[in-house]
Amino acid sequence: MPVSNVPKGSNGRNSEAFARELERAGVAFGREVALSRYTTLGLGGPAEFLARPRAADEIHTLLKLAEAHELPVKVLGAGSNLIVSDAGVRGVVLHTAALDFVRFDDGGIVHAGAGCHFPGLVRQCATRGLRGIEAGVGIPGSLGGVLTMNAGAYQFSIGPLVDEVIVVSASRGQGVMPRDAIDFRYRASSFGGGLIVAGARLALTLDEPAAIRADMDERMRFRKQTQPVGVKSAGCIFKNPEGASAGQLLEELGLKGFSVGGARVSDVHANFIVHSGDADTADVLGLIDAVRERVLRTTEIELEQEVMTWS
């Protein structure tokens, strides 16, 4: 939790006082940390602060200190649904990676931290014969990100499997939200903004590990055939418009392969933007604007962005 190497261009007195108090509180953090290392797109400038609380009470400490010093806070999970500007972000990025506990109780109950890598959690559940989340094995997020985005694939959606979620906010501290108090919508939920997911209790059903693994493998095979793998992307860029598939719409408009700078609409799935290392965030954002504008002009459909943007 070094306060050494105080960077040039830091935000002045508030930032320095925040750094001192965060260090005193024992919350691990770094300064001017390149966010390109923490997004699946592999792009993005530095975070003024990147903090890694290890428990809900540390999240609350961090939020109160940031509030006291008027520093904005953003939450980072696995960065798989995120586009970060080339300039990076001032203030605090709360990275959930250290909230990675997993505990299995009898009867299919799983307690897991927000920072658990979702595909890893799915695999652990399969090994223990726990069914319910296997269709999400290819979603490369954290559990907190999956809950916040209400991520889904095929028939899978996380909402019905949630017993309760441990949340933290600056004003109310730590709390527990039962399933029926949570609003899970299409790629959105009650979480985000000031309401941070620290962990969750999931209720899964029991089955044979081999049967679960077979279903998981089948999902992965299908994904590999239909989505770009092994390349840098942030997943689907746009939400599906009412009654249609955004990917199909973009493909029908001939947008596969369309590019701006180093960013390119995938040839495999038109709702993915990929790059091979020579793009910057400005290219990606330029391409998103150009695609959205083309769709609006040709079809009068206004595409809504699924991927989050930090500037």
Ligand X SMILES: Cc1cc2nc3c(=O)[nH]c(=O)nc-3n(C[C@H](O)[C@H](O)[C@H](O)COP(=O)(O)OP(=O)(O)OC[C@H]3O[C@@H](n4cnc5c(N)ncnc54)[C@H](O)[C@@H]3O)c2cc1C
Of the ranges 24-32, 43-51, 137-145, 246-254, which one interacts with ligand X (CB under 6 A)? 137-145
For residue 67, give the nearest of 9, 3, 138, 17 by alpha carbon: 17
117 DSSP β-pair partners:
142
Residue 310 DSSP SS3: strand
Q: How far is the CB of 25 from ligand X (least distance, A)?
A: 20
The span from the CA of 307 to the CA of 235, in Å, is 8
Interface mask toward ligand X for 30-69; x: CB under 6 A:
----------x-----------------------------
Interface mask toward ligand X for 225-244; x: CB under 6 A:
--------xxx---------
Starting at the earlier edge strand, list the strands of the sheet with 89-95.
28-34, 46-52, 89-95, 73-76
Q: Residues 84, 99, 231, CA angle at the centre, nearest 5°?
A: 40
Q: How far is the CB of 74 from ligand X (least distance, A)?
A: 6
Interface mask toward ligand X for 250-289; x: CB under 6 A:
----------------------------------------
C-beta of 152 vs 261, nearer to ligand X:
152
Longest CA pairwise span in the chain (Å)? 58
C-beta of 90 vs 129, nearer to ligand X:
90
The span from the CA of 137 to the CA of 96, in Å, is 20
Of the ranges 14-22, 136-144, 173-181, 201-209, which one interacts with ligand X (CB under 6 A)? 136-144
Q: How far is the CB of 152 from ligand X (least distance, A)?
A: 5
The span from the CA of 159 to the CA of 281, in Å, is 32
C-beta of 6 vs 229, nearer to ligand X:
229
- Per CB under 6 A, does 140 bind ligand X? yes
- Per CB under 6 A, does 191 bind ligand X? yes
Interface mask toward ligand X for 145-174; x: CB under 6 A:
xx-xx-xxx---------------------
Question: 72: how many CB neighbours lie within 10 A of its CB?
Answer: 12
Q: How far is the CB of 18 from ligand X (least distance, A)?
A: 20
Of the ranges 29-37, 190-198, 278-286, 295-303, which one interacts with ligand X (CB under 6 A)? 190-198
Contact, 99 vs 199, CB < 8 A?
yes
DSSP track, 196-260: EEEEEEEE-EE--HHHHHHHHHHHHHHHHHHS--SSB--SBSBPPPTTS-HHHHHHHTT-TT-EE
Residue 114 DSSP SS3: coil
C-beta of 15 vs 266, nearer to ligand X:
266
Question: What residues line the site for ligand X (CB under 6 A)?
Answer: 40, 74-82, 96, 114, 139-142, 144-146, 148-149, 151-153, 191-192, 196-197, 233-235, 308
